[in-house]
Amino acid sequence: MHVPVLFDEVMQALQPRSGGRYLDCTLGGGGHTEGILNASAPDGRVLATDADADAIARVSERLRDALNNRLTLQQAWLDEAPAVAQSLGFVPLDGILVDLGLSSDQLASAERGFSFMRDGPLDMRFNRVQGEPAWALIEHMDVQSLTKVLREYGEVRNARRVAEAIWQARPIMTTGRLRDVVAGVARTRSDRIHPATQVFQALRIAVNDELRRLKEGLPKLIEILRPGGRIAVITFHSLEDRIVKETFRRESRDEVAQPGFGMGEARPARLRLVNKQPIRPSAAEVARNPRARSAKLRVAERVMGERGEG
Ligand SMILES: C[S@@+](CC[C@H](N)C(=O)[O-])C[C@H]1O[C@@H](n2cnc3c(N)ncnc32)[C@H](O)[C@@H]1O
């Protein structure tokens, strides 16, 4: 099962309490959701969403006792979760968690196509019935776009050469085939990392449109927090962390209207930063769970909309 990352730090950040209302937008194996349910007993409630129907099915079995009573599960993308919460009347919220990336369950399942260690169809969709799988994306992209995806999302060295090799080898229908094509041309920054790691990461981000969803989702999530409510976001990729950092910074500054520049109304800050630097896992956690290695947690608190209030 997926081991939740920065578990104690997330609980410390959200401080779940009885009677509280929480949204977990990335249910995964349900470890954080379960922690929030326990910490907010006896009557705190959690709405947990995930794009992956398998995650929802697995957790609805595992946390059966809490279902209907204190836990609601629904399949949704991150940027759709605020609308789901609103349609269920589950607003305003006391706490929101976003824990991005892949779960160990997804990685372990060959048929999902996320892992180059297991041969399976080159799919990589979080939602298996929506959008294009990775093999189809490669099929429809030109070399230039593929180079851009590898360079920007994967920081792949010699991105152009790798993209050309992938393009030449099309159709690439399986994870094993992609791994072999990449291994033939790519170099990595470190001997310990297989060159396919970054290529797989880049394609996954593109397939699921992950950066756009994060950028568009965050302001909507902030909107449904009650004053004093907190949002905690765990990222595993520098581009994701930059989006969180910039959104939190922007939302924690008062925007001043500039007469004559068509800027519209002044917008008071909606957030207060709880930690200025991201929280990193301890050495002990990384030793226990190497997946935590690159995790960064940022936390912010909703304020009234006027500086000092809330
Ligand atoms: C790292 S796991 C979450 C683990 C979870 N916190 C736990 O304790 O088990 C990330 C989960 O979020 C989902 N996910 C990632 N990005 C998403 C997005 N943009 N929209 C919806 N779900 C997303 C994935 O399907 C995966 O199940």
What is the residue-level pLDDT of the chain in tens, covering all 310 positions?
A: 899 999 999 999 999 999 999 999 999 999 999 999 999 999 999 999 999 999 999 999 999 988 878 999 999 999 999 999 999 999 999 999 999 999 999 999 999 999 999 999 999 999 999 999 999 999 999 999 999 999 999 999 899 999 999 999 999 999 999 999 999 997 766 667 788 999 999 999 999 999 999 999 999 999 999 999 999 999 999 999 999 999 999 999 988 766 665 656 778 999 999 999 999 999 999 999 999 999 999 999 999 754 444 3
Domains, the chain, in order of start with CATH, read: 7-104+210-302 (3.40.50.150), 128-207 (1.10.150.170)
* Cα 24 to averaged position of ligand 1 atoms, centre (Å): 9
Distances from the Cα of 259 to the Cα of 15, 30, 283, angstroms: 42, 49, 51
Q: Which residues of 28-66 are buried (b: 16+ CB within 10 A; e: fewer)?
A: bbbbbbbbbbebbeeebbbbbbbbbebbbebbbeebeeb
Please work out whether the CB of residue 55 comes within 6 Å of at least one atom of ligand 1. Answer: yes
pLDDT of residue 50: 98
The DSSP call for residue 30 is: S
Q: Is 4 in the pocket of ligand 1 (CB under 6 A)?
A: yes
Å from CA of 28 to ligand 1 middle: 5
Ligand 1 pocket, 51 CB below 6 A?
yes
Residue 305 is predicted with a pLDDT of 59
pTM beyond 0.85: yes
Q: Is the CB of 35 under 6 A from ligand 1?
A: no
Task: Evaluate: CB of 82 within 6 angstroms of ligand 1.
Answer: no
Q: How far is the CA of 55 from the centre of ligand 1 (A)?
A: 9
Residue type at position 289:
N
